[in-house]
């Protein structure tokens, strides 16, 4: 089951310019929505959802709110600890976070076989190995491996940056195998496209144009018809006064052939008027100007051209098909533009309808059903023949009646004939127009109901398909985490590094534009294409590898590798250009500045109630940007001395890099700024031993 064909806009950008995400969609789900008056259980549930979906800062906020309202226990504390440590190394923790961990460690007992309590003990045993309090790595890893699921899997996932080289080496094979299994699990390749598919606009159909006749036209027609009937009655009375059989037959012929002929004339006239209207709609009678470039109608036009070319029948050449469907293509384009334009609907939200329209035209074409105006509204030959015959018979009857009436009473006969001709000259076209408009309106109203019904069925089918296939936030984060793990493994192999040689590592995950983007309401943005940069810090310098991740197809070839000595880093700067846009600038001593946009809401963002600043914080947190920035700033500020301090057991209550709960402030860390990378130190160790 593959996703629908998607057309992309090709953007050509000069060097150094920025091309934004092509699509921006928001799913109106309630995954992350919780009210201030909701019970603490719901707040805790949303916090766990944020943790599973890779947004630990929001997870901490919600879990702390739930605990503040009295919802506590080993399970709550376990997830709280994971939210504190997720996507951060131990050295990233600020003084307040370490104090929280110290307090939790002191209150955690060893009694009981509760899995959540055992998980807490395992976490604090691992922390004892990295905080300088002298923990036993082998015993800690044994305690970790003895945990049941889900505690074991959650710790491996969220404490990936906490584990040191030796401990990480012990679980690396397991992490790598799990990532390989997870990467394409649950039909990822066939489902990811649905996450980025736009929310389809509801089915609509064009309403019939109002009748172009008024009540005055009807009243005028009634008056003219009344006068005309009076004149005809006068003629027939004069003719019948002769008393001959011929007069009687001519009057009967007028009474019989008149209504029947009028019916056939109105039918022929109606079909002609409908055909002329359809030809105007198809653009055969005049050419309409091209829509403005880049507007809604222009995008709809390009979509129709694309899908008409894609769905061309195999029995016809593409050129012939496009030429012979030019009119119906223009008509359908105008209908979609008219009913959806200026309603807040984006062009990509009606793409499902465009595909359905094109497939319907193709179906009718293959079935031999009419498409052109002269085929749709063609008066049949029998109607035309009967109309001509009846008109001749009626003319003969009228002429005979007038002649007989003139012989009997010349003056009334001449007056009645003239009055009939004058009133008929105005009444017949007027009544033909009134009748055709009423009939046209009723027919188009019935056609609209039928068309709308089929479109609503297609809308329900398409929306149901999207809802069924669309991955959850947890699945999207799990797939991205698997990609990162496998890319990290590839980088290690390319640089021929073992984990005991890697002192620290970091990811810089940014969207690779142009790309599609979407997010759940109040959740992080997801992208169809990423650029993932891996930084591996060793004793000799920094190894960097870059992978271009096609998230929809689960492909990520390495596109570049680089090596830096510590002295090569001149400065690292985060430039905050707006509430939405954060740019990381890495300046090297022997090269140009590398600029990377690490967070920016798409240019076609859906309307959301959350502030832009909060959305940027969520995106930065989901990308684990704070940990990456701390490493790069430390190297740029102090070089190898920072690395040497990083390899020492970290102090328990040091005032570390600012909490990553807020986006990094704009600024530059460089060796020239003496003392800017200094940290407040304390030698008090973190108590991690369980207390009964």
Give residue-wise pLDDT tens across range 39-77: 999 999 999 999 999 999 999 999 999 999 999 989 999
Highest mean pLDDT among 195-199, 502-506, 536-540 belongs to 195-199
The CA distance from 89 to 91, in Å, is: 5
Tokens of 638: 């102090």
**Position 11 confidence tier, pLDDT thresholds 50, 70, 90:** very low
pLDDT of residue 205: 93
Residue 607 has pLDDT above 80, yes or no: no
Tokens of 603: 């240019």
Residue 496 has pLDDT above 50, yes or no: yes
pLDDT of residue 115: 86
pLDDT of residue 669: 41
Name the DSSP class of 691.
Answer: -
Tokens of 224: 């003219």
Which range among 125-139, 220-234, 406-420, 668-682 shows the weakest confidence by mean pLDDT?
668-682
pLDDT of residue 597: 78
pLDDT of residue 602: 55
**Position 415 confidence tier, pLDDT thresholds 50, 70, 90:** confident
Beta strands at 517-520 and 25-27: parallel, antiparallel or unpaired? parallel
Give residue-wise pLDDT tens across range 509-520: 888 888 899 988
Higher per-residue confidence, 458 vs 685: 458
Residue 291 has pLDDT above 50, yes or no: yes
pLDDT of residue 303: 94
Residue 2 has pLDDT above 60, yes or no: no
**Position 166 confidence tier, pLDDT thresholds 50, 70, 90:** confident
pLDDT of residue 9: 39
* Mean pLDDT of the chain, nearest integer: 82
Provide the β-strand partners of residue 549. Answer: 530
Give residue-wise pLDDT tens across range 111-156: 556 889 899 999 998 888 887 676 788 888 888 889 988 899 999 9
Tokens of 87: 């996507």
Q: Which residue has the tokens 């502030």?
A: 611
**Residues 550 and 530 sit within 8 Å (Cβ to Cβ):** no
Provide the β-strand partners of residue 530. Answer: 511, 549
Tokens of 307: 């899908």
Beta strands at 526-527 and 558-564: parallel, antiparallel or unpaired? unpaired
Residue 420 has pLDDT above 50, yes or no: yes
Which range among 144-148, 153-157, 417-421, 562-566 shows the weakest confidence by mean pLDDT?
562-566
pLDDT of residue 692: 28
Which range among 370-379, 395-404, 680-689 shows the weakest confidence by mean pLDDT?
680-689
Tokens of 119: 């998980």
Higher per-residue confidence, 283 vs 471: 471
Percent of the chain with pLDDT over 90: 35
- Cβ-based neighbour number of residue 389 at 10 Å: 13
Residue 665 has pLDDT above 70, yes or no: no
Residue 647 has pLDDT above 60, yes or no: no
pLDDT of residue 44: 94
Give residue-wise pLDDT tens across range 194-216: 999 999 999 999 999 898 888 88
Is the pTM higher than 0.95?
A: no
Which range among 16-30, 199-213, 628-642 shows the weakest confidence by mean pLDDT?
16-30
pLDDT of residue 565: 84
The CA distance from 289 to 132, in Å, is: 75
**Residues 582 and 574 sit within 8 Å (Cβ to Cβ):** yes
């Amino acid at each position: 089951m593959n996703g629908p064909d998607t057309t992309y806009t090709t953007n050509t950008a000069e060097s150094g310019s920025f091309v934004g995400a092509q699509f921006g969609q928001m799913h109106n789900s309630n995954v992350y929505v919780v009210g201030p008056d909701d019970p603490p259980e719901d707040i805790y549930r949303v916090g766990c959802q944020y943790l599973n979906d890779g947004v630990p800062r929001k997870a901490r906020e919600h879990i702390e709110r739930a605990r503040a309202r009295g919802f506590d226990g080993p399970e709550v504390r376990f997830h709280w600890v994971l939210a504190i440590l997720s996507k951060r190394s131990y050295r990233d923790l600020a003084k307040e976070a370490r104090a929280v961990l110290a307090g939790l460690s002191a209150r955690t007992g060893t009694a009981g076989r509760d899995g959540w309590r055992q998980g807490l003990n395992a976490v604090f045993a691992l922390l004892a190995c990295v905080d300088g309090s002298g923990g036993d790595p082998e015993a800690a890893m044994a305690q970790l491996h003895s945990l049941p699921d889900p505690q074991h899997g959650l710790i491996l996932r969220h404490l990936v940056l906490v584990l040191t080289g030796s401990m990480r080496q012990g679980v690396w094979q397991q992490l790598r195998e799990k990532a390989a299994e997870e990467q394409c699990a649950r039909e990822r390749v066939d489902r990811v496209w649905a996450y980025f598919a736009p929310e389809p606009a509801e089915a609509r159909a064009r309403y019939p144009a109002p009748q172009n006749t008024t009540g005055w036209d009807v009243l005028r027609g009634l008056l003219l018809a009344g006068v005309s009937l009076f004149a005809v009655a006068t003629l027939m009375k004069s003719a019948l006064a002769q008393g001959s059989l011929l007069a009687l037959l001519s009057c009967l012929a007028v009474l019989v052939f008149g209504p029947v002929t009028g019916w056939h004339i109105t039918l022929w006239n109606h079909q002609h008027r409908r055909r002329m209207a359809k030809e105007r709609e198809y653009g055969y009678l005049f050419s309409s100007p091209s829509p403005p470039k880049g507007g809604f109608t222009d995008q709809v036009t390009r979509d129709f051209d694309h899908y008409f070319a894609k769905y061309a029948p195999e029995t016809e050449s593409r050129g012939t098909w496009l030429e012979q469907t030019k009119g119906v293509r223009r008509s359908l384009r105008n209908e979609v533009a008219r009913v959806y334009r200026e309603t807040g609907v984006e062009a990509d939200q009606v793409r499902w309808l465009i595909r359905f329209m094109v497939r319907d035209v193709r179906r009718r074409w293959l079935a031999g059903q009419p498409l052109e105006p002269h085929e749709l509204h063609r008066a049949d030959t029998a109607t035309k023949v009967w109309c001509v015959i009846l008109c001749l018979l009626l003319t003969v009857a009228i002429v005979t009646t007038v002649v007989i009436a003139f012989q009997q009473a010349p003056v009334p006969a001449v007056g009645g004939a003239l009055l009939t001709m004058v009133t008929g000259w105005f009444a017949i076209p007027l009544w033909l127009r009134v009748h055709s408009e009423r009939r046209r309106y009723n027919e188009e109203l019935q056609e609209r109901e039928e068309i709308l019904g089929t479109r609503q069925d297609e809308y329900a089918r398409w929306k149901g398909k999207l809802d069924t296939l669309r991955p959850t936030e947890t699945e999207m984060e799990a797939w991205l985490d698997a990609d990162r793990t496998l890319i990290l493994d590839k980088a290690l192999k390319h640089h021929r590094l073992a984990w005991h040689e890697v002192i620290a590592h970091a990811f810089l995950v940014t969207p690779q534009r142009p790309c599609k983007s979407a997010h759940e309401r109040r959740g992080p943005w997801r992208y169809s294409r990423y650029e993932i940069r891996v930084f591996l810090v060793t004793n000799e310098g920094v190894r960097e590898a870059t992978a271009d991740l096609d998230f929809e197809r689960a492909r990520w070839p390495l596109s570049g590798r680089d090596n830096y000595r510590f002295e090569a880093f001149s400065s690292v700067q985060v430039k905050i250009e707006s509430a939405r846009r954060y740019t990381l600038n890495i300046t090297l001593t022997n090269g140009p500045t590398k600029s990377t946009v690490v967070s920016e809401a798409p240019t076609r963002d859906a309307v959301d109630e959350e502030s832009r600043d909060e959305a940027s914080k969520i995106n930065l947190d989901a990308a684990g940007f704070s940990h990456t920035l701390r490493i790069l700033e430390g190297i740029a500020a102090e070089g190898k001395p920072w690395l040497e301090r990083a390899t020492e057991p970290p102090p328990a209550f040091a005032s570390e890099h600012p909490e990553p709960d807020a986006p990094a402030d704009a600024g530059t860390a460089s060796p020239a700024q003496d003392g800017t990378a200094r940290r407040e130190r304390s030698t008090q160790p973190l108590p991690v031993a369980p207390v009964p």
